[in-house]
Amino acid sequence: MEDIAGYSDDQVGAAVRGLHEQARESLSRYVKLDPVIDGVEGTFTKPAVSDPAAVKFVGNVPAGKPSGGLLRHKGWRAGKIDLPPLNPKQDAAIIAPAEIEIE
């Protein structure tokens, strides 16, 4: 993929504006994003679940299982995934087709 180290912040910023718009639109169309913990970041929270994949404790974590702490990141969960069915005849390994312009 393209190495963007050499471009000015201005140029990267302009491109990201377009990319983010398209990425957000696609993501919101196919995946419904829900927070793992529906709380206010920065407030004291007691998580209802204890699955380490869903809730991660950071900082001065005690030896035993902590009961709660400050919510730093709400987390994201795919609430609903709505992907279009894959055409069986189509090569799923193709992410983007090559483009050839005829002038």
Interface contacts to other proteins, rule CB under 8 A: 1-2, 4, 7, 11-12, 14-19, 84-91, 99
Report the DSSP pairing between strands 44-45 and 69-70. Answer: antiparallel
> Smallest distance from the beta carbon of 90 to other proteins, in angstroms?
5
Q: Nearer Cβ to other proteins, position 18 or 52?
A: 18
> Smallest distance from the beta carbon of 78 to other proteins, in angstroms?
19
Q: Nearer Cβ to other proteins, position 52 or 84?
A: 84
What phi and psi, each to the nearest 5 degrees, are found at residue 50?
Answer: -125, 15
Q: Nearer Cβ to other proteins, position 18 or 59?
A: 18
CA torsion 73-50-68-61 (nearest 10°) is: -90
Structure tokens given for 17: 């504006």
